[in-house]
Amino acid sequence: MTRGAVVFLLLVGMVMGAGPALALDDLTPYLEQQSAAEFSGEESIVCYTPDGTVSELTVVRQADGVRVVEDGEGAIGVTRVYHGDNWVLGDQYRVEVSGRDRFLSRPVTVVDVVEGDLVRVGLFFDQSSGALLASDVHNADGSTYCSSRFLSFDPKRPVIPDDLLAGLTTGPGSSEAGVVDADAFPTEIAGFSLTEVYEGPAAGVTNGYYADGIFSFTVFVSERAIEVPELVDAPVVKMRRGEYQRQFYPGQVIFAWQTRSGGIVLVGDLPLDLQEDVLEALPAPGKPNFFVRFWRGLFG
């Protein structure tokens, strides 16, 4: 072998082994393929929370950008799987394609969303259909917060009855209430950007939707305490700034608390450490002062 050929082979070897990336280090094409995928299957999600493990097994059908999810109790969720131009990945994240693997005997591309040294999210995309077959979400200490897995997967186009599509929203920001007093919400909370401000679902409740491209949460704010019937028996937990009612659902957590000036409810898919960070940036729990109580007592 000539000296030139050796150098050439060394260079090829260096290029091929230069980094972990095996494909695009941008999440966008994967999300576009995921939203266009057509499939059906059984999916499980398990979340490990301070209040115990919560899990759910659902049947998922996706076609024409619409996802229908049925749980074991007969409830059906219909959601438009959407990937739009206004999706922005937070600066704190970088995307690394960590390799290729097999899942359910199918070749998958493993994409990691990395925050500093932490693999915050691992995504397993089916190479053939583009469907997201599995995901892992991690807390700041590296522990797993939630895992989702398809237990069975059929890449055939499923049938979605037309009557399920009635009333389906067309995408983010489809609220008819429109933008209200956006100045009432900070434009940024713990690395999350304010994306939309709207009213509802009850009179006098204003909401701010925040996202960082991976996780998101909505803050519901009212000048009165917000009563969520499902949280009546929810545990009250003491966190850095006070006590909150907290309830975990598979893939979702909800907090409710009263402040000195009203009530707040937060719902989102935040891992445990981000829950703390976000709550710390919001008004602390507290009791309304005498004059507020007096006014509400007289005039409601």
Partner 1 sequence: MTHLGELLSAYLDGEVTEDERKLVTSHITDCGTCQAELADLHLARSALRSLPVLDLPAGLLDGEASVVIPLVRRPRVWIAAAAATVAVFVGVATFVAPEPTVPITFNEISLEHNNRSQLDPLLTPGKAVPPVSLPIGGAE
What residues numbered 124-153 form the site for partner 1, per CB under 8 A? 132, 135, 137, 146, 148
- The count of residues in the chain is 300
Closest CB to partner 1 among residues 48, 249: 249
Q: Which stretch binds partner 1 (CB under 8 A): 11-19, 62-70, 238-246, 272-280?
A: 62-70
Q: Counting contacts by CB under 8 A, is residue 294 touching partner 1?
A: yes
Return the DSSP state at 30: H
**Would you say 97 and 22 are in contact if contact means Cβ atoms under 8 Å apart?**
yes
Q: For residues 257-276, which are near partner 1 according to CB under 8 A?
A: 263, 265, 267-269
Cα–Cα distance for residue pair 219/266, rounded to 1 Å: 5
- Tracing tokens 């598979």 back to the chain, one arrives at 250
Element (H, E) at 205: strand 205-211
Member of 39, 93, 153, 220 binding partner 1 (CB under 8 A): 220
Return the DSSP state at 277: H
Q: Which amino acid is at 219?
A: V
Q: Which stretch binds partner 1 (CB under 8 A): 3-11, 100-108, 178-186, 248-256?
A: 248-256
Tell the smallest beta-carbon distance from residue 181 to partner 1 (Å): 17
Tokens of 111: 């994409």
Q: Which stretch binds partner 1 (CB under 8 A): 8-16, 17-25, 171-179, 236-244?
A: 171-179
Question: Peptide bond before 161: cis, by omega within 30 degrees of 0?
Answer: no
Q: Counting contacts by CB under 8 A, is residue 224 touching partner 1?
A: yes
Cα–Cα distance for residue pair 78/90, rounded to 1 Å: 27
Cα–Cα distance for residue pair 300/138, rounded to 1 Å: 44
Member of 118, 228, 239, 284 binding partner 1 (CB under 8 A): 228
Cα–Cα distance for residue pair 58/156, rounded to 1 Å: 18
Binding mask 13-52 for partner 1 (x = CB under 8 A): --------------x--xx--x--------xxx-x-----
Binding residues with partner 1: total (CB under 8 A): 93
Cα–Cα distance for residue pair 19/109, rounded to 1 Å: 16
Member of 225, 239, 281, 284 binding partner 1 (CB under 8 A): 225
**Would you say 268 and 216 are in contact if contact means Cβ atoms under 8 Å apart?**
yes
Q: Counting contacts by CB under 8 A, is residue 204 touching partner 1?
A: yes
Member of 252, 261, 281, 283 binding partner 1 (CB under 8 A): 252
Q: Which stretch binds partner 1 (CB under 8 A): 3-11, 18-26, 179-187, 196-204?
A: 196-204
- 131 three-state secondary structure: coil
- 3 three-state secondary structure: helix
Q: Counting contacts by CB under 8 A, is residue 300 touching partner 1?
A: yes
Q: Counting contacts by CB under 8 A, is residue 81 touching partner 1?
A: yes
Closest CB to partner 1 among residues 132, 282: 132
